[in-house]
Amino acid sequence: MTVSTRVDLALLGIRGTPPVNRTGGAGPSDDGHLLIDGLNAAIPRNPNSPFIFDGDRVLFDGVDAGVEVATIGRPRFYDLTTDDGVPYEQIAKLHGADVLATTVVQTCIRYAEDQRCRFCSIEESLRSGATVAVKKPEQLADVARAAVELDGITQMVMTTGTSNGKDRGAKHLARCVRAVKAAVPDLPIQVQCEPPADLVTITDLRDAGADAIGIHVESLDDDVRRRWMPGKATVSLDDYRAAWAEAVRVFGRNQVSTYLLVGLGDNPDEMIAGAKELADTGVYPFIVPFRPHAGTLAVDVDHAAGPDPAIVEKISREVAVHLQWIGMTGSEQRAGCAACGACGVLQNVGG
């Protein structure tokens, strides 16, 4: 499969519903999860896509698109429920073939319409009843144990909506990490949160047992940040830089990552330069195409379209070359989105 077909799939998506899929949620969502060329792939579900997933193959214009695709079976832990009747599937989801992912607090102080990130639908899955607002540490421990034992998951991602406190939600994350590590000590965990106001919180997360951390900025351009993420843009880029530096000190080089979303309006060359700079400081810049999906302001209000495939490919390729040059790859992260890689194409081009 060519890289451009992989980019087209990432942007145009597929018609059809793979057994492992998700609807709304934090970050990119509303996708089906497959293995493409042996790598995790989170592909948007799009009823208008020219690509059809027929359960075994990806077809284009009725003809096999030449994509080496493997279906991921519905995980067995989805059939379990907690003692108080909460389905495990509402507590954490399978992403890709082997990642357990959860949003420990499914609400966000920035979710007012004039504050929220315009690409995010974190509270929509809560409204639809697909998940619960706050995941208890002991629930996550039970689900993680089951997902390891029944489905062989190899890593876990814990993200959170931003809370009102100075820790921005990190304290609850730390409690959840501790509980999961007590249940399955060998399971690598990545935590994701905004830069905490008090940087010692980053050490608290590491001490709790987190193996990697994502501090996601999405754009390095303040105009883009104000337009797309008015709430989050009140946290300055300097605060992000300080948090990344502290995280690299605490977690180590290439155990810290950030999302850079292609398609919000960043100048591509500036994004490439910014990504290289981040990588040089030890932060893996996970290049991810912006994915318009229903339930977000970007689609429901702005009618925003996804990025130009050629730009996604150019940025991914140039950043991947630099990552190879400095010896940094996503697969070397102990856990997390960069290790999984499904939401971008960076790993497909060697990053």
**Which of residues 337, 345, 346, 349 is near ligand SF4 by CB under 6 A?**
337
| Strand runs labelled E in 109-255 | 155-159, 189-192, 212-214
Q: Say if strands 99-103 and 155-159 run parallel, antiparallel, or are unpaired.
A: parallel
Q: Rounded to the nearest whole angstrom, what is the least distance from the CB of residue 302 to ligand SF4 in the complex?
A: 22
- C-alpha neighbours within 13 Å on the C-beta side of residue 130: 18
99 makes contact with ligand SF4 (CB under 6 A)? yes
Q: Rounded to the nearest whole angstrom, what is the least distance from the CB of residue 157 to ligand SF4 in the complex?
A: 5
Candidate ranges 2-10, 102-110, 144-152, 334-342; the one touching ligand SF4 (CB under 6 A):
334-342
Q: Rounded to the nearest whole angstrom, what is the least distance from the CB of residue 253 to ligand SF4 in the complex?
A: 20
| Nearer to ligand SF4 (CB atom), residue 201 or residue 347 | 347
- Give 176-181 contacts, CB < 8 A, sequence gap 24+: 176/102, 176/104, 176/135, 176/137, 176/140, 177/205, 177/208, 177/209, 177/210, 178/137, 178/208, 178/209, 179/137, 179/138, 179/140, 179/141, 180/137, 180/140, 180/141, 180/144, 180/156, 180/209, 181/208, 181/209
**Which of residues 16, 27, 289, 292 is near ligand SF4 by CB under 6 A?**
27
Q: Which of residues 109-148 bind ligand SF4 (CB under 6 A)?
A: none
* Nearest residue to 91 via CA among 107, 77, 109: 77
Handedness of CA 141, 27, 167, 110 (dihedral sign): negative
**Which of residues 143, 220, 278, 340 is near ligand SF4 by CB under 6 A?**
340
**Which of residues 18, 96, 292, 306 is near ligand SF4 by CB under 6 A?**
96
Please state, as a whole number, how many other Cβ atoms lie within 10 Å of the Cβ of residue 301. 10
65 makes contact with ligand SF4 (CB under 6 A)? no
CB of 85 closer than 8 Å to CB of 48: no
Q: Taking CA 320 as the corner, what is the angle to CA 259 and CA 97, rounded to the nearest 5 degrees?
A: 65
| Nearer to ligand SF4 (CB atom), residue 184 or residue 343 | 343
Candidate ranges 80-88, 96-104, 163-171, 320-328; the one touching ligand SF4 (CB under 6 A):
96-104
Q: Which of residues 156-215 bind ligand SF4 (CB under 6 A)?
A: 157
Candidate ranges 4-12, 95-103, 133-141, 227-235; the one touching ligand SF4 (CB under 6 A):
95-103
CB of 25 closer than 8 Å to CB of 127: no
| Nearer to ligand SF4 (CB atom), residue 140 or residue 343 | 343
Candidate ranges 58-66, 145-153, 244-252, 338-346; the one touching ligand SF4 (CB under 6 A):
338-346
Candidate ranges 91-99, 124-132, 172-180, 264-272; the one touching ligand SF4 (CB under 6 A):
91-99
Total number of residues that touch ligand SF4 (CB under 6 A): 11
42 makes contact with ligand SF4 (CB under 6 A)? yes
282 makes contact with ligand SF4 (CB under 6 A)? no
| Nearer to ligand SF4 (CB atom), residue 59 or residue 169 | 169
Task: Return the residue matching tokens 């899955």.
Answer: 125
The per-residue DSSP string of 42-80 comes to EEEB-TT-SEEE-SS-EEETTEE----EEEPPPPGGGG-
Residues in contact with ligand SF4 by CB under 6 A are 27, 42, 95-96, 99, 101, 157, 337, 340, 342-343
